[in-house]
Amino acid sequence: MTDLYRLLPEEMEELVMNLGYERYRADQILYPLYYKYPKSLSDIPQIPKALREKFTEEGYEIGSSNETHRVVSDDGNTTKLLLNLSENQAIETVLMQYPSSKVGGHPRSTICVSTQIGCAMGCVFCATGQMGFESNLKAEQIVSQVIHFAKLLQERGEHVTNLVFMGMGEPLANYDEMIRAIKILTHDRGFGLGQRHITVSTIGITSGIDKLAEENLQIGLAISLHAPNDDLRKKLVPTAGPNSVQEIIEAGRRYYKKTGRRVTFEYALMKGINDSPEIAEELAWLLQGNGSHVNIIPINPTAGDFRRPDEDSVLEFERILYNAGVNCTVRVEKGTEISAACGQLRTDIVG
């Protein structure tokens, strides 16, 4: 069976017309899919029963992701779901909410989606990386994560405002399915999310970064750096190449030049490993003047033996970068206590 959430609007039109129906019938399907969240074709009464039956005969259906576990942070602003997809595949996805700057305004609601079950990159400080790689997700399975939370938010009178590809897996290692999902989610006849409200995070697959730059998309790019030199980065990211630091910085420059979108370098700060003032100075020298932004992320508790630096060390690291003219912020993590923060996602709980 083919999930209707896999189809781009143009493909939906082609399918409807090939089945012998008028082009406008496509919009009668697309609107409910992305705004009413039907569970089956029978929940779309706008289209004729005969067309619904033809869809089924041709092997098309509305896929679904079943929620099997939910945890909510103490402040209620972070929700992590374990979703069971088709073929008994399970992934974690997270909703993070931030208060609106306007009185009575809707909160900023960011969904952190997964693109793979597990991850082959093997980052030693990341829970997902320690799972190993299991499989790629299909575009419709990526879209289903957004749809699941969109329905939940709709029930609250809220809506999805941002999307980050920072969940389980390396997005650029599942490139084609990721791009299809982005095109569906940003299409004005699909989910309709603005491209500038989407960020893709990568460990630094340079060929994928260059390919992404050619897609003519206005999405943000975040590159996980974690070290200012190759020796240290290789210890933290075993799959990193011998010249990975310079290569990903140059790829970031190319992405910025092509798209005009500022690149963020993510830096997971680990006590006694990559948080010294000397390393901060080395990082500052490396990034000085290239117009990028550094997102400092004090490491979150995972199964590995890595500790978060104390607050003074974090602030000193930030100060060194700032004084060198490097744009930087310390990320305020959300959902750490429910293992929903950066680097904590895995699928220990099933059912």
Query: Active-site positions?
Result: 92, 342
Phi and psi torsions of 133, nearest 5°: -90, 135
Q: How far apart are CA 195 and CA 261, in angstroms?
A: 11
> Tokens for 208?
């994928």
Residue 179 Cα distances to 86, 186, 256, angstroms:
20, 10, 19
Phi and psi torsions of 125, nearest 5°: -100, 5
Element (H, E) at 310: none
Q: Is 129 within 8 Å of 149 (Cβ atoms)? A: no
Q: How far apart are CA 331 and CA 241, in angstroms?
A: 27
* Residues in contact with 56: Cβ distance below 8 Å, sequence separation at least 6, in sequence order: 41
Q: Is 114 within 8 Å of 169 (Cβ atoms)? A: yes
Nearest Cα neighbor of 229 from 250, 243, 212, 215 is 243
Render 18-44 in DSSP notation, one character per residue.
HTT--TTHHHHHHHHHHHT--SSGGG-
DSSP-derived secondary structure letter, 71:
E
> β-strand 60-61 against 66-72: which pairing, if any?
unpaired
Residue 132 CA to its chain's centroid (Å): 18
Number of continuous H segments (helices) and E segments (strands) in the chain: 10, 14
